[in-house]
Each structure stands twice: as C-alpha cells, then as structure tokens.
Structure 1
Amino acid sequence: MFTSLIRYIQERSTSPLTKNDIGLIEEAFIPKQLRKRQFLLQEGEVCKYIAFIVKGATRQYTVDERGYEHVLNLCIENWWTSDRESFHKEVPSIYNIDAWEQTELLLLPKTNDYYERVNNIPAFNEMRIKLDDNQHMAAQKRLHASINYTADVRYEELMRLYPEFLQRFPQHLIASYLGITKETLSRIRHQAVRKQG
C-alpha cells in the first residue's frame, strides 16, 4: 500500500529517501479503506488528517440550504485530499469529503508528533512545497476560468487536463465541478460529439 506513496514522493523531489525516512513514513501514515459514499470528513467536524489516495476516487463538496451539492474537488489515485483550513486551524469544516468509489487511503494525522517528523524529511518537505505551489496555481487557473471562460471552454479544458474524470465521475458531479447545470453539460457533450463526427 505504501509503494505508490513512496514513489510519489521520490518522483517529486531531488532529495533521496533513506531507509529511516521510509520507515518513518510507514509508521506515520494510517491505512484506511472507505466504501462508496462513506465519509472521510463531514461538515462540522475538524479535519484530523491529510489523505493520500492509493486507489479509488473522492469528492469534496458543500450542501447549500436547498440541499444542492456544490463540488469543489474531485480526486483520484495519487492525489491528496483534506480540508487544509480545518486541518491547520483546527476549526470545523464547511466541507464533506466522501468516497465516490471503493477507496484506499493513507492518512497522516496531526494529533501526534509524526506530522512534524514526516515534514522534516527533506524529500517529503520538498514534495510538499511543490504540491502546495501546484495546488495554488491550479486554484488560480480554475478561478480565472470560472470568471472568464464559457462553459464550453471550461469543459474542453477539463477534457484536456483530466480526461479520466469523464470516465470515473457521473455527469452531475462533472457539471457541479464546472459550475454548470447538468442540462448545459449534456448540450456541450452532444455538441462535442457532433464536432468529432
């Protein structure tokens, strides 16, 4: 279960992982399995873990006063998921995170000294800084796209960047992630099929 996490860290850092580093990572991270629709985090709870997805898929979303779900993030293998504000500030989360498929995770808790010790591993710290930078840039691009691009362009960008999302998640989640209605997404998909034909 740890092989994919170790490989992920090694591929994203120039610092080597020592045997001691790998041993510490294997001690620190807690394996967890979620059934489809089982929660990792529910609104109102304090997020206690940063989670690495070994296998499966998750969604992070809010539910408005009318009961509509608004998807903030869709995540698959070799992605991280958590509510970072809740995790770092120890405040109740406004998000839900649940498994969209049978999902295997590795959880890094904040409640013991492992979090600090793992973050002091040079390769892990280097990977985390790159990850933070990439997430910040992705969030900026997504915000820019939502303000400036049409639904058609946002869908094309999603197809280009994350084609696997279209295979793994149903239309209503894709539509919510793009900030459009299911009907708009259906129209865009039909137009895309006609263009290809």
Structure 2
Amino acid sequence: MKSLLLQSIAKHVSLTEKEEEIVLNACSSSTFKNKTMLIKPGDEAHFTYFVLKGILRSYTIDDNGTIHILSFATPGWWMADMYSYLTDKPAILYVDVIEECEVLILQKSDVENLYSKVPKLERFFRILTENNLVANQQRVLDKMALTAEERYEKFLQKYPTVVNCLPQKYIASFIGVTPEFFSKMKSNMLRKK
C-alpha cells in the first residue's frame, strides 16, 4: 500500500530507490475505524495524512450547528488542517473518518527534514499546494457562479468512485445546499433524464 504514496510522488518528481526509502521511513502508518475523530478545533495538527484506503472528510461547524464540508480525501489524496499545519496554531477544522481507513502520517518536522535529505520533495509539495490553491479558488468561484445542479455535476466528476459510499447529507453539505433541497434537486435531475 505504501507504493501508492510513491506513485503519487512519481506523478510530479522522480525519486531514486534510496530517496523512496527515506520518504517511506519518515511516515508512520495507522488504521482508523469509521467515525474516528482525527482532528478537532483547538488541536495541534502539525501533520498531514495520506490516504491509502478509506475516506476522510474535513469540515467546520457554524454557530447554528450546520456542518460545512470542505473536502474529502480518498486513496491517493492528502488531508490536513492546513491552517494549523502551516501556522503552528491550533486547528480550526474537524477531520474524521467516514469509511474505515488506512493512512500514512507525516509530521511537519519530518517534512522539513525530508526537504534537506530529498530536495525534490519541496517541488512535489509545492505542486500539491499550488493544485490545492487552484482547486479551492475554483470551488469558491463555482459556489458564486454555478447552480446547485452544476456543482453536483462537478462533484460527480471529482469524486466518481465515492459518490455511492457517502451519505446524501455529506454531498449536500459539500455542494452548499440543505439535504432537503439536495433530495428535491436529485429527483428533478432524474425526471429530466
């Protein structure tokens, strides 16, 4: 399973066998059951998860108790509270397990050490950060300019393998609508087909 991490890295940079070994040795692995809370606001979250199996989600809860899902991480994806990770301040997000998962965990201090030992990783993580920035900007623009149906279609494109694994209320939260609206919208979409 750790080869999934190496495949992910290989999409952007080429590592030698020795460098691959250094990277894998820097990671710890863990398995978490469904509904396990990995990060909550106030935690020191100076680490990132690489998903080997299962699904993670990150979200926030507003003053009315409404959950707003920021992202899902499926196999081959990374998940972190980037605010805490980058600023060394307490976490502002929740991250939990929505399908039993196996992850690799990389501490920020280990990443800094890896940059010295395997300089190519700075390029790899810069590319990931840039891709994340672009995706987040696009999501904000989509929220302003697209209909809920169009946002749902984009969700289906982005997460085709997990759409049937997720509760409908999670998908509704991700696209920014209530579960009731989402249910009506899906019914209307089915009627149109």
Query: Which TM class, normalised by the smaller chain length?
Result: over 0.9
Structure 2 match to 1:125: 122
How far apart, in 2, do the equivalents of 1:103 and 1:163 lie? Answer: 18
2:119 is aligned with 1:151: no
Structure 1 match to 2:65: 67
Q: CA RMSD in A?
A: 1.5
How far apart, in 2, do the equivalents of 1:89 and 1:133 lie? Answer: 17
Percent identity at matched positions?
29
Match of 2:151, SS state, is helix
Q: How far apart are residue 64 of structure 1 and its match?
A: 2.3
2:161 is aligned with 1:164: yes
How far apart, in 2, do the equivalents of 1:10 and 1:74 lie? Answer: 22
Match of 1:25, SS state, is helix
How far apart, in 1, do the equivalents of 2:87 and 2:45 lie? Answer: 9
Alignment of 1:1-197 (within 5 A): 1-13=1-13, 16-111=14-109, 114-120=110-116, 121-196=118-193
1:92-111 superposed Cα distances (whole Å, 9 cap, x missing partner): 11111011011111011124
1:31-53 superposed Cα distances (whole Å, 9 cap, x missing partner): 01111111221111011211110
How far apart, in 2, do the equivalents of 1:128 and 1:102 lie? Answer: 26
How far apart, in 1, do the equivalents of 2:68 and 2:3 lie? Answer: 33
1:105 alignment partner AA:
V
1:9 alignment partner AA:
I
Relative to structure 1, is the Cα distance of residues 191 and 98 closer, same or farther in structure 2, using a 3 angstrom cutoff?
Answer: same
Is the CA contact (8 Å cut-off) linking 2:60 and 2:94 kept in structure 1? Answer: yes
Count of aligned pairs between the two proteins: 192
Is the CA contact (8 Å cut-off) linking 1:43 and 1:96 kept in structure 2? Answer: yes
How far apart, in 1, do the equivalents of 2:158 and 2:170 lie? Answer: 17
How far apart, in 2, do the equivalents of 1:58 and 1:161 lie? Answer: 15
